[in-house]
Homo-oligomer: A and B are copies of this chain.
Amino acid sequence: MLRGFFSVPLKKSKEHKNMEFLTGAVQKEDLGIAEILAGDYEGKNIKVKGAIHTIRDMGEVAFIVLRRRDGLVQCVYEPGKSQFSVDDLKEADTVEVCGTYKSDDRSPNGFELRLDTIIILSEPAEPMPLQINKWKLNTSLEAKLNNRAVALRNPRERATFRIQEGITRGFRDFLYNNGFTEIHTPKLGAKSAEGGANLFKLEYFHRPAILQQSPQFYKQMMVGVFDRVFETAPVFRAEKHNTKRHLNEYTSLDFEMGYIDGFEDIMEMETGFLQYTMELLKTSYAKELELLKIKLPDVTSIPRVRFDEAKQRVAEKYNRQFRNPFDLEPEEEVLIGQYFKEEYGSDFVFVTHYPSKKRPFYAMDDPADETYTLSFDLLFRGLEITTGGQRIHDYNKLMEKIAKRGMETEGMESYLSAFKYGMPPHGGLGIGLERLTMQLIGEDNVREATLFPRDLSRLEP
């Protein structure tokens, strides 16, 4: 993985009139961990760059651990061999070291470097404010978020965001492979996709504007163009919730697909995405899974249950009734998650057929009973991580539903015109990236899975 870019020898043509050229090829002398492990370096001298993570001075020798993007490298300082003084080094220096490779099962990645020389590339101005080189950061979430750029240098802390990369990457690659086109839709708009209370408002060159809370309208319009589309981008919600699972800005993994036979196609596509992604994490993010001791969920098959049936099963088994017949309360979602884990061994469950009155106007009602919709949520370990379903594709039906709800069409002209000129049967979903990450790593606050969270009280860093 670290080869490729650096594997072609430097070759700068200077033939034309003393002009220098870039050729996309740089030969670097310093090695990455994968390169070292792939080579045969026993007893040989190699060069490595990294940040000084820890220094343990044992008197006769000192162990200096370097932190790199690809892991930790243990270096051994030995007076006599090493041509520098360990006293000149401190934590958070970034350095280039030269030393002799020696296999050592006790060291990270199974080797250590017996140091000859060191070059200090940069130095910190002050001692570290957090002990990032502890195995586990012994710090409150609040303190971690306040010092995010430093706290994340802890290898376990940063691993969460490598896992998050794997999820996003799995989402995109799976959809590319299934004929989806990636789109970039605007976040600034004149009107919102859905509802108005939860919108951030701003002035756009003397006109009122909003930040989109979802790419919903745009991705539906683009189904008429590309049949299948997806987007991975920020969404903005001015909700005044201050809970462990709400953010005011988050990354939404959205897709929308046309020519479906039913909303089951959407659920199958999501199941396929989860299968693909768990496999990708297993193969390409094994180090991070190991660091965080994550056991990936089994996604071979995911049960589906109707909303009303889920309510009933949970009420019966746990002897609890919930007040709201039209929605699931968070505690109810937790119990549904528990139920399907206990009864079917599944960490996931699709809850289908949500009541029409709790779904947006564009949701397709179930022809068998129009008080319910052909929609679903996906719960993962008791938390909603996806909302999706089939949408109304017929222009006249869409206009009827809008009229029935007493809604205005102002600001929806472009959206509606896409339907006026024909749209295939379609549906889609939105996945909260941070929530999915949080559930996968087993944290109980979504801020743990957000690089720089935005909530009621946090707008910095």
Give the interface of A toward B (CB within 8 A).
1-2, 4-5, 13, 16-17, 19-26, 28, 30, 32, 49, 51, 68-70, 92-94, 121-126, 128-129, 147-150, 152-153, 158, 161-162, 164-165, 168-169, 172, 176-179, 181-191, 200-205, 207, 209, 211, 218, 221-222, 224-228, 233-234, 236, 238, 240, 248-249, 251, 258-259, 261, 264-265, 267-272, 274-275, 299-305, 343-344, 350, 393-396, 411, 413-415, 417-425, 433, 451-454, 456, 459-461
Contact = CB atoms under 8 A, between A and B. Distances in A.
A183 B160 CA distance: 11
Given A205-B456, A459-B209, A177 B1 contact: yes
Given A69-B181, A183-B161, A190-B460, A222 B21 contact: no
A184 B69 contact: no
- Which has the most chain B C-beta neighbours within 10 Å: A17, A32, A164, A186? A186
Nearest to A418: B149
The 8 closest A-B pairs by CB, nearest first: A414-B461, A92-B422, A124-B422, A202-B202, A69-B227, A24-B272, A24-B271, A149-B221
Give the interface SS of chain A, mostly helix, strand, loop or mixed: mixed
A271 B205 CA distance: 37
B182 A165 contact: yes
A254 to B, nearest CB: 14
- Which has the most chain B C-beta neighbours within 10 Å: A124, A129, A270? A124
A32 B49 CA distance: 49
B424 A122 contact: yes
A126 B269 contact: no
B418 A150 contact: yes
Given A126-B421, A234-B234, A459-B190, A179 B32 contact: yes
A169 B161 contact: no
B344 A19 contact: yes
Contacts of A150: 224, 417-418, 421
Contacts of A179: 1-2, 32, 69-70
Nearest to A10: B268
A22 B186 contact: no
A238 B189 CA distance: 14
A5 B178 contact: yes
Contact of A454 (B182, B188, B343): B188
A227 B268 contact: no
Given A188-B236, A222-B149, A181 B205 contact: no
B177 A5 contact: yes
A445 to B, nearest CB: 17
Contacts of A201: 202-203
16 contacts: A5-B269, A19-B305, A22-B303, A23-B268, A24-B272, A26-B268, A30-B259, A69-B181, A69-B226, A121-B259, A153-B225, A158-B226, A168-B182, A183-B451, A186-B452, A189-B460
B189 A22 contact: no
A227 B155 CA distance: 12
Contacts of A228: 69
A30 B165 CA distance: 34
A178 to B, nearest CB: 5
A216 to B, nearest CB: 13
Contacts of A209: 459
Contacts of A451: 183-186, 218, 222
Given A21-B302, A24-B269, A126-B420, 10 more contacts: A16-B344, A51-B424, A68-B227, A93-B422, A149-B415, A158-B225, A184-B251, A204-B248, A205-B456, A222-B451
B200 A234 contact: no
Given A5-B177, A393-B122, A22 B350 contact: yes
Contacts of A258: 94
Contacts of A19: 303-305, 344
